[in-house]
Amino acid sequence: MFEVELLGDVYKVNACKTKYLADNSLAVVLTRRKETFADITVNLGVKPTDDNCAFVDTNNNKWAEDFLKTNNIAVPTGRFASSGFCMYPEYSFNLKKLKDLQDDMEM
């Protein structure tokens, strides 16, 4: 379990892995009380470098990079992909730190 601070409030969340239906690539979401709290990654139609990599949604989650680094969940690869006017950083995730989304939602 991890903590996220947003607008002065602290939330306890789980970091979970799943897959995007479109291309079967890694998707990472934060859950809280069996509900999605935030989608950390975004599917851009660009193949990530490796199976443990994904592009982080810094457009909707300005805090995501700090959260991932602080909790040693993922590290930047140095690669970026664009969509519209946004550049999304690719991160390599420590899959051992992520729960399986389906298992987390069933608990």
Sequence ranges of the domains in the chain: 2-106
Q: Give me the pLDDT at residue 78, please.
A: 96
pLDDT for 41 equals 97
Question: 32: exposed, middle or buried (C-beta count within 10 Å: 0-12, 13-18, 19+)?
Answer: middle
The pLDDT score that the predictor gives to residue 107 is 55
* Segments of the chain with pLDDT less than 50: none
Q: What is the pLDDT of residue 74?
A: 96
The pLDDT of residue 32 = 92
Q: How many CB atoms lie within 10 A of CB 88?
A: 20
The pLDDT score that the predictor gives to residue 106 is 65
Residue 57 buriedness (CB in 10 A; 0-12 / 13-18 / 19+): buried
